[in-house]
Structure 1
Amino acid sequence: MKYILVTGGVISGVGKGVIASSFGTILKNCGINVTSIKIDPYINIDAGTFSPYEHGEVYVLDDGGEVDLDLGNYERFLNVTLHKDNNITTGKIYQNVITKERKGDYLGKTVQVVPHITDQIQEWIEKVAKRPVTEGGKIPQVCVIELGGTIGDIEGMPFVEAFRQFQFRVKKENFCCAHVSLVPQPRSTGEHKTKPTQESVRTLRGLGLSPDIIVCRSEKPFGETVKEKISNFCSIAPNQVITIHDLSSIYRVPLLMESQGVIEFLNERLQLNITIPRPPDFMKQWRDLADKIDNLQNVVNIALVGKYTKLEDAYASVRKSLQHASTEIDYKLEIKYIEAENLEQKTLELNPVLYHKAWQQLCESDGVIVPGGFGQRGIDGMIEACNWCRINNKPLLGICLGLQVAVIEFARNVLEIREANSAEIDCQIDAINTFIVKMPEHTDGDAGGTMRLGKRITRFVKGNSVIKQLYGNVDEIEERHRHRYEVNPEFVPQLEMAGLKFVGRDTEGQRMEILELQKHPYYVATQYHPEYLSRPFKSSPPFLGLVLASTGKLESYLASRLTPQQSSPTIKSDNDISEMNKSES
């Protein structure tokens, strides 16, 4: 087993996750099986109880693990299925050590950070690194490990010490350290400054780790002079300094890294036996994708009506899923983030400018997405967005909470049950108005890890539906969930009688998973989170449907899929289809 440790310096958020994913992508394109581990030094057991404003979105895995959003990057770049143990936190490590101590596993010894905590970290990494993450079940050959935070953080010290020991445990030829550091360019001087990187590397070396590769992040490209300066002052060869400036898309990062000789260095450093030189079409799929994104001309505008719009990372997977879908049909994505509260009547009274701006953005959009969330804040604004899309035939995709507010809106304005609500929003609500209820097995208890989590089966009911066609007319699908509330099954017949059909349900037929509004261009909502399984080369069907409907191409796309020999249909506009039908007649 080979290990690549990715550390960060100067500031957090410098792009370690994308760079770690790019290391894996490059190696995977060389035919090497790769897995990834993300280490988060915080004391939380997992990311499940985080506010999105604290740490961005909470990413959910097949096994129900609530993990850091960087694991989403790993899964999307490498097309693998990771496990909850691929996310290590200080809380998990200490919990394991304390459990062992209570059992008497340490035979009366004083339990200390060194060696007990550091040993637990190393044992965890060695165990998880060997766990298969692909369908074939092959044991990975390389494990890319990202250490969260920055070097010098007090929370990360036990992990740095663990890796100082680990490099000797696995031997030098099996361990490589890549340090990602910011090279700023102050406006006052106009030149790139290497001192922060020098200090960061000095701190890392002082803790017992010497970087084999220094990845320099900068806003703009810099020349060989700066690169040589970093090489001289950080005591590494020039070919070990990799420069990554801000690029047009994250899919250009592995291409830029590969062009600077990363494969040649890793091949020699880790003795990987990679065939060099590589074929001319090496990483062609990624190059074509990056070129396609850069050259898109047509634009689709999607309004995201959410609760955490001040931080884009709160909806990282949703944003990427929309991009996957829009790129697939040759459209450039423009997202307008609309704070749900700004659509509410109370905002009109307090701040008319915000209110009218939010409504203008909503009305000018081609399609609308209402993503997941928790709590009462912004619910009325989400309901207003659903109402506007339903009445004006605007394409809508609701996810998790988005499905629940769509049900509430329909009950209030179509069934005319004005007090219809969710038990999450109003805990004192009467049973006759409770359209969204708490799942019986997820009542009271701890907040973390107690929701309906992970991959579950959804079965389509008999009959045809748009979303079923988008999934390929299969009978059942598997998607990842993260929720504690669900549609009250007692009201389902009443809702369906009025035209809101629940076309997908759980295996028992009691839990509503997918709804569709009849006689609407695209009004779909899912209880599960389809964004977690979207990939750059295989977009999620609900997102694809939203973008197709928003660009007027949904009907033609579905019609083209009815032709078996047309495996890769040419997507025409619905107007083109109408003209074709007229000419054929």
Structure 2
Amino acid sequence: MKYILVTGGVISGIGKGIIASSVGLILKSCGLHVTAIKIDPYINIDAGTFSPYEHGEVFVLDDGGEVDLDLGNYERFLDIRLTRDNNLTTGKIYQSVINKERRGDYLGKTVQVVPHITDAIQEWVVKQAKISVDDDGVEPQVCVIELGGTVGDIESMPFIEAFRQFQFKVKRDNFCNIHVSLVPQPSATGEQKTKPTQNSVRELRGLGLSPDLIMCRCATPLENAVKEKISMFCHVEPTQVICVADVSSIYRVPLLLEEQGVVGYICQRLDLPIEMRARKMLTKWKEMSDRSDRLLEHVSIALVGKYTKFSDSYASVIKALEHSALAINHKLEIKFIDSADLEPNTLQEEPVKYHEAWQKLCSADGVLVPGGFGVRGTEGKIQAISWARKKKKPFLGVCLGMQLAVCEFARNLNVQLSNLRMELKYVFLFFFITDANSTEFHPESKHPVVIDMPEHNPGQMGGTMRLGKRRTIFKSNTSILRKLYGDAEYVDERHRHRFEVNPELKHHFEERGFHFVGQDVEGERMEVIELDDHAYFVGVQYHPEFTSRPIKPSPPYFGLLLAAAGKLQSYLQKGCRLSPRDTYSDRSDSSSPDSEIAELKF
């Protein structure tokens, strides 16, 4: 087993995750089996209770693990399936060690950071690195480990010490350290500064780790003089100083690393059995990146959400939209709309903001309402859904977005809910309570539109949702989404929710053209909705964005983009196939010839 540790210096958020993913990708393109581990030094057990404003989205894995969004990058770049144990936190390590101490595993010894915590870290890495993440079940040959935070953080010290020891245990030929550092370029002088990188490398060396590759994040390509200066002061060869300048797309980063000989160096450094030949996977990425830069046609999607001021809150959603837009050869424009700005209260308090938000919504080609929690802004999401339904605009609702679509339909079409002793307005308000007390808000309401799931534990917040990969069975042969999935009878997608549509009300909606075309295996939970007489009005209880890939876009998002570009009906009529011109050209054209058909694989 070969281990590649990726550390970062100067500032956080420097791009370690993308660089780690890119290194893994170029190694996988060489025929190696690659896995990845993300280490987060925070004391939380997992990312499940994080605020999206602070840490971005919570990425959900097949096994229900709620993890850092960087694991989403690993899965998208490497096309692998990770587990919750691929995300190691300080909380998990301390919990494991304390549990061992309580069981008496340490035989009365004084439990300390060194050696007990550091040993536990090393044991976790060695064990997890051997677990297959590919469909073929083959044990990985290379493990890429990203250490979150920056060198010098007090939270990271046990992990730095653990890897200082680890490099000697596994021997030099099996361990490599890549250090990612910032090379700032102040606008006042326009000169690239190396001092932050020098200090960062010096501190890393002082802690016992020496970088084999220094990857310099910079706004513009690294000048030769700057590269030589870093080489001299950081005690590495110039070829070991890699420039990672800002690029038009993150999908160009693997190509950037490959061009600078990273594969050759890692091959020599770790004695890897790599043949230096043209690699099919990287060729596909180059074609994809080139097309992305040359697209001429545009498509716009209004993303109506609660956390729109911080794009990382919807990282996977944005990537899924990008994958689908690229598949139909359109340049994507995302119009971020804070759902609270669409509400009548905003019209009274900040009319300019209100009208600007509605202008964005009305000018979009399609509408997306993603998942979320909490009452704030939900009225605005209802307004956006209502507008999309009435104006026949393509719409996709994910998780909360689907549940709100159900409420909007009941509320605005005055669905007669038999045997219910409440008005629709109350039904809507009840749904807003998405926290642990929601079932206690009005206990006499026996049949709300959306209900708290029976297995939800209201006394605990973390890890109490319906999480992970679940099977959804399509109940209709004519479902648009089923066709987009390749006429599959069922799909396995990832979930993250506490609430569900009340199954007792199913027939009240379906007799009015609002169909629940997908349900769980038991037929009790409503998973997919579709509306008659609409170009594309789809809602899914699951989160399809978590399984979207750059060259395998998620079908629900792909359908939204096709409908927004006016291509959905043509695509369905062709048997869910795209012509070569649609799939590989530099621009999309609805009048493209159909003489030759190429199927888009999901």
Question: Which TM bucket (shorter chain)?
Answer: over 0.9
C-alpha separation between the residues in 1 aligned to 2:535 and 2:574? Answer: 17
Please tell me whether residue 436 in structure 1 is matched to residue 450 in structure 2.
yes
Counterpart of 1:174 in structure 2 is 174
Distance in 2, matches of 1:266 and 1:133, equals 22
Q: Do 1:560 and 1:569's aligned partners in 2 also have CA atoms closer than 8 Å?
A: no
1:73 and 1:462 map into 2 onto residues whose CA distance is: 34
CA apart distance, 1:399: 0.2
Equivalent in the alignment of 1:72: 72
Equivalence map 1:49-68=2 (5 Å)? 49-68=49-68
- Cα distance, 1:569 vs. partner? 8.5
2:498 corresponds in structure 1 to 484
Query: C-alpha separation between the residues in 1 aligned to 2:431 and 2:367?
Result: 24
State how far apart, in whole Å, the 2-side matches of 1:550 and 1:282 are.
30
The alpha-carbon deviation at position 498 of structure 1 amounts to: 1.4
Deviation of residue 419 (structure 1)?
Answer: 2.7
Shift of 1:433: 6.4
Q: Deviation per CA, 1:273-293, whole angstroms, max 9, x where unpaired?
A: 2113x2376721111010010
Residue in structure 2 matched with residue 291 of structure 1 by the alignment: 290
2:530 aligns to what?
Answer: 516
1:128-147 alignment, distance < 5 Å:
128-147=128-147
Q: Aligned partners of 2:477, 2:73: CA distance in 1, in Å?
A: 36
Aligned to 1:419, the other structure's residue is in SS state helix
Matches within 5 A, 1:25-424: 25-276=25-276, 278-279=277-278, 283-415=282-414, 417-421=424-428, 423-424=430-431
Q: Which AA in structure 1 matches 2:339?
A: A
Give the direction of change, closer, same or farther, for the CA distance of 1:255–1:455 in structure 2 (3 Å limit).
same
1:404-453 CA distance string (max 9 Å, x none): 11011111001253332264524434526621111001132321111000
Q: Which AA in structure 2 matches 1:545?
A: G
What corresponds to 2:599 in structure 1?
Answer: none
Q: For the residues of structure 2 that align with 1:380 and 1:347, how far apart are their CA atoms?
A: 11
Give how far 1:377 is off: 0.5
Matches for 1:432-511 after TM superposition, within 5 Å:
434-511=448-525
- Which deviates more from structure 2 when the two are superposed, residues 95-104 or residues 461-470? 461-470
Contact 2:467 2:494 in 1 (8 A): yes
2:564 pairs, out of 545, 550, 565, with 550
2:239 match: secondary structure? helix
Counterparts of 2:475 and 2:581, CA distance in 1: 27
One-letter code aligned to 1:316: A
**Which stretch has the larger CA shift, 508-517 or 421-430?**
421-430
CA distance in structure 2 between the partners assigned to 1:317 and 1:175 by the alignment: 31
Q: TM-score, normalised on structure 2? A: 0.93
Matches within 5 A, 1:534-573: 534-561=548-575, 570=582
With 488-497 and 542-551 compared, the bigger mean Cα shift is at 488-497
What secondary structure does 1:369 align onto? strand
Of 568-577 and 295-304, the range deviating more from structure 2: 568-577
2:288 aligned partner, one-letter code: L
CA distance in 2 between counterparts of 1:33 and 1:422 reads 51
User: Which residue of 2 is the match for residue 582 of structure 1?
Assistant: none
Q: Runs of 5+ in structure 2 lacking a partner?
A: 416-423, 594-602
1:548–1:253 Cα change, 3 Å: same
2: CA distance, partners of 1:137 / 1:282: 20
**1:323 Cα offset (Å):** 0.4
Structure 2 vs 1, CA of residues 355 and 466 (structure 1 numbering), >3 Å: closer, same or farther? same
Compared CA separation, residues 382 and 96, structure 1 to 2 (3 A): same
Deviations 1:119-157 (A, max 9, x none): 000000000000000000000000000000000001000
Deviations for 1:497-545, whole angstroms, at most 9, x for unmatched residues? 1111000000011100000011100000100000000000100000000
CA distance in 1, matches of 2:202, 2:537: 56
Could you report, residue by residue, the CA deviation over 1:292-337 in whole angstroms, capped at 9, with x for unpaired residues? 1000110000000000001000000000000000000100000011
Counterpart of 1:256, as a letter, is L
Runs of at least 5 residues in structure 1 that lack an aligned partner in the other structure: 578-585
Q: Distance in 2 between matches of 1:343 and 1:250?
A: 32
Q: Deviation string for 1:76-131 (max 9, x for gaps)?
A: 00000001000000000000000000000000000000000000000000000000
SS at match of 1:221: coil
Cα RMSD over matched residues? Answer: 1.7
* 1:465-492: CA deviation from partner (whole Å, max 9, x where unpaired): 1111111111111000000000011211
CA contact (8 A) 2:447 2:502 kept: no
- Deviation of 1:574 (Å): 6.9
| Alpha-carbon distance between aligned partners in 1 of 2:477 and 2:569, rounded to the nearest angstrom | 18
Equivalents in 2 of 1:125, 1:537: separation in Å? 30
Q: Would the aligned equivalents of 2:579 and 2:592 in 1 still touch at CA under 8 Å?
A: no
SS at match of 2:449: strand
Q: Distance in 1 between matches of 2:32 and 2:343?
A: 52
Between the aligned residues of both structures, percent identity stands at 61
Structure 1 pair 522–282 and aligned structure 2 pair: CA distance change class (3 A):
closer
CA–CA distance in 1 between the matches of 2:411 and 2:431? 17
Query: Take 2:264 and 2:412, find their aligned partners in 1: how far apart are those partners?
Result: 64
Q: Secondary structure at the match of 2:381?
A: helix
* Cα shift readout 1:144-196 (whole Å, capped 9, x = no counterpart): 00000000001000000000000001000000000000000001111000000
State how far apart, in whole Å, the 1-side matches of 2:590 and 2:262 are: 47
* 2: CA distance, partners of 1:425 / 1:316: 24
**Contact persistence 1:422–1:436 (CA under 8 A):** no
| CA–CA distance in structure 2, aligned partners of residues 474 and 253 of structure 1 | 35
Q: Distance in 1 between matches of 2:576 and 2:568?
A: 13
Q: Contact 1:459/1:475 (CA < 8 Å) preserved in 2?
A: yes
What amino acid is the match of 1:131? I
In the alignment, the residues of structure 1 paired with residue 590 and residue 210 of structure 2 have an alpha-carbon distance, to the nearest angstrom, of 59
Which sits farther off after the overlay, 391-400 or 465-474? 465-474
Provide the secondary structure at the position in 2 that maps to 1:561.
coil
